[in-house]
Amino acid sequence: MLVVVTGPARSGKSRVATELASSHGRPVVVVAGGRETDPEMARRIAHHQAERPVGWRTLEVEDTIAWLEDVDDRECVVVECLGTLVSRMMEELVWDDTDHVSEQAETLLGMKVDSLVERLRDREGDTIVISNEVGWSIVPSSPAGRLFRDAVGRATARLVDGADAAWLVVAGRCVSLTDCSRSVVWADVSGESE
């Protein structure tokens, strides 16, 4: 089963994912892509670790796809979070120069993200992917920031399309995306009946 939990920063996504993973009683492995790059990030990581139930395994990943070989299909995987995995992919491609992103870097990132999405969608075991709605904020000023926003947005949409369940978490509240329509119909506002 694939479940996607998405929403803005500090909305409660990790809490929701923890509740979901705890509810079925299987062993849980948290796939963490974040790194302690500064004291503030170290505090964030420590806070997330402290909130996890005792007995959960944490897999800190360097490679953004190879870790899938290190988890058993009987384990519930919680990806914390898609944005950190995408940023790790970008580090080797564009973070050296955020003022310029080559077409080759865009293409390579797209291929890497597509591969991760497919592997997550095809995984046999239960998988919960936490993602960020990074496009709800201002348009990033750098090409790298815009590439990151677009890559995470596209990947989240593809994961939701293939998910068994998807939740949008806003201000601590959960909205099911599972049965939401992908298309809209023009509303008749004329008030005339046929």
24 is a catalytic site residue: no
Neighbours of 52 (CB within 10 A): 19
Which residue in the list 24, 47, 48, 100 is annotated as catalytic? 48
Q: How far is CA 14 from CA 22, 47, 81, 172, in A?
A: 12, 11, 9, 10
Contacts 24+ apart (CB under 8 A), 48-53: 48/14, 48/80, 51/14, 51/15, 51/18, 52/18, 53/18, 53/22, 53/28
Neighbours of 35 (CB within 10 A): 15
* Inter-residue contact 78 to 126 (CB < 8 Å): no
- Token pair 């923890």 is found at 18
Which residue type sits at 63?
D
**Catalytic residue set:** 48
